[in-house]
């Protein structure tokens, strides 16, 4: 099987700042699937979003649909021993991170002024290849502010967003407890989500309350170190991309 993962450029010392791209890369590593990484072009993405993959000649979008396709078609044993209750907990946490916490991460990069100053050079690396043309960076920010406003998070103040984000992280830390991985002793596909989202928060160079609160959860910090040394110890930045 040949997998090409199309994603945004790496940045801030992590394989990818898009938690969805990073989740997929983490899953490939957990499932022992070989893959290569290429820079995405949003115009070619089936859903207009990253990540997307080319899988045995077929282009597919959406990190979760891709994982489920691989689980069905090629099988993996990561989730084989989970009870229905564990799957339900994993599902609920995944939804929280992907559909809720995600927007707080986006807000801290695109709306918060310090976040935007730090994120601007990263966005610049996506123009023109990912964006499909020489779009002015101010227009990209304006578009994202509009999306955040329509989604709802953009209507909150920075303090309100950080309070909401902190509640998600506290809930995650409580559910993680002292287990080595989210649902027990062994890693499961849900850990690809948890790890990628935690790194997306911690990698932001701005020392926000959101980041500090996450770093103050010692079990989550230990979890990130454990996951990194098991699945990303041999990771190297792609040669064609700046750090
Ligand atoms: N449900 C999708 C979400 C992907 C997603 O939201 N990707 C963002 C980057 S983190 C994106 O491509 N945004 C570009 C846009 O919306 O124009 C998945 O799991 O792949």
Centre of ligand 1 to C-alpha 218, Å, is 29
| pLDDT values of the chain reduced to their tens digit, one per residue, 243 residues | 899 999 999 999 999 999 999 999 999 999 999 999 999 999 999 999 999 999 999 999 999 999 999 999 888 889 999 999 999 999 999 999 999 999 999 999 999 999 999 999 999 999 999 999 999 999 999 999 999 999 999 999 999 999 999 999 999 999 999 999 999 999 999 999 999 999 999 999 999 999 999 999 999 999 999 999 999 999 988 776 543
**Atom of ligand 1 minimally distant from the CA of 51:** 20
Q: Which atom of ligand 1 is nearest to the CA of 147?
A: 16
| Closest-lying ligand 1 atom to the alpha carbon of residue 52 | 20
Q: Do domains 3-74 and 84-231 have the same CATH topology?
A: no
Structure tokens at 90: 């994993």
Q: What is the pLDDT of residue 240?
A: 60
Q: 92 — alpha (psi -120 to 50), left (phi > 0) or beta?
A: alpha
Which residue's CA is minimally distant from atom 15 of ligand 1? 49
Predicted local confidence at residue 75, as pLDDT: 85
- CA–centroid distance, 61 to ligand 1, in Å, is 9
Which atom of ligand 1 approaches the CA of 106 most closely?
Answer: 10
Task: Tell me the whole-structure pTM to 2 decimals.
Answer: 0.97
* Tokens linked to 153: 């998070």
The 3 state secondary structure assigned to the chain is CCEEEEECCCECCECCCCHHHHHHHHHHHHCCCCCEEEECCHHHCCCCCCCEEEECCEEEECHHHHHHHHHHHHCCCCCCCCCHHHHHHHHHHHHHHHHHHHHHHHHHHHCCHHHHHHHHHHHHCCCCCCCCCCCCHHHHHHHHHHHHHHHCHHHCCHHHHHHHHHHHHHHHHHHHCCCCECCECCCCHHHHHHHHHHHHHHCCCCCCHHHHHHHCCHHHHHHHHHHHHHHCCCCCCCCCCCC
CA distance 108 to 2: 36
The structural domains of the chain, with segments of one domain joined by +, span 3-74, 84-231
* Main-chain phi, psi angles of 2, to 5 degrees: -110, 125
Q: Class assignment of domain 3-74?
A: alpha beta
Question: What span, in angstroms and rounded, lies between the C-alpha atoms of 238 and 36?
Answer: 10
Q: How far apart are CA 89 and CA 175, in angstroms?
A: 9
Residues pairing with 37 in the sheet: 5
Cα 52–Cα 30–Cα 193 angle in degrees, nearest 5: 60
Distance (angstroms) between ligand 1 centre and the Cα of 126 equals 14
Mutational pocket test of ligand 1: of 8, 20, 21, 143, the residue with most ligand atoms within 8 Å of the beta carbon: 20
Question: In angstroms, what is the span from residue 178 Cα to ligand 1's centroid?
Answer: 31
Tell me: the pLDDT tens digits for 31-47? 999 999 999 999 999 99
- What is the model's pLDDT at position 21? 98
Per-residue model confidence as pLDDT tens digits over 48-84: 999 999 999 999 999 999 999 999 988 888 999 999 9
Domain 84-231 grouped into CATH 1.10.540.10: no
Q: Give the distance (Å) from ligand 1 centre to CA of residue 102.
A: 10
Tell how far the Cα of 63 is from the centroid of ligand 1, in angstroms. 9
Pocket of ligand 1 (CB under 6 A): 18, 20, 48-51, 62-64
Determine the pLDDT at residue 243.
Answer: 37
Spacing, Cα 2 to ligand 1 middle (Å)? 23
Note the pLDDT of residue 74: 82
Candidates 34, 93, 98; CA nearest to 63 is 98
Distances (CA, A) of 72 to 18, 29, 77: 25, 17, 11
Mutate to test the pocket of ligand 1, among 50, 66, 146 (most ligand atoms within 8 A of CB): 50
* 108 Cβ contact list (under 8 Å, min separation 6): 115, 158, 161, 162, 165, 204, 206, 208, 210
């Amino acid at each position: 099987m040949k997998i090409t993962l199309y994603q945004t450029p790496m940045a801030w010392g992590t394989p990818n700042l898009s938690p969805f791209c990073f989740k997929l890369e983490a899953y490939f590593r957990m499932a022992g699937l070989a893959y290569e990484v290429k820079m995405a072009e949003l115009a070619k993405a089936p859903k207009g979003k990253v990540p997307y993959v080319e899988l045995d000649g077929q282009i597919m979008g959406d990190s979760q649909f891709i994982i489920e396709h691989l689980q069905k078609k090629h099988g993996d044993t990561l989730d084989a021993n989970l009870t229905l209750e564990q799957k339900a907990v994993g599902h609920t946490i995944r939804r929280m991170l992907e559909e809720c916490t995600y927007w707080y991460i986006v807000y801290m990069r695109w709306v918060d002024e310090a976040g935007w100053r730090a994120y601007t050079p990263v966005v610049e690396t996506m123009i023109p290849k990912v964006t499909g043309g020489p779009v002015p960076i101010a227009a990209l920010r304006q578009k994202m502010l509009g999306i955040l406003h329509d989604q709802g998070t953009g209507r909150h103040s920075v303090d309100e967003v950080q309070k909401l984000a902190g509640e998600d992280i506290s809930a995650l830390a409580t559910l993680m407890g002292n287990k080595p991985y989210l649902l027990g002793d062994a890693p499961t596909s849900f850990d690809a989500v948890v790890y990628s989202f935690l790194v997306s928060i911690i990698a932001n160079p701005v020392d926000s309350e959101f980041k500090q609160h996450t770093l103050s959860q010692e079990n989550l910090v230990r979890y990130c170190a454990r996951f990194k040394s098991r699945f990303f110890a041999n990771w190297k930045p792609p040669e064609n991309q700046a750090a």
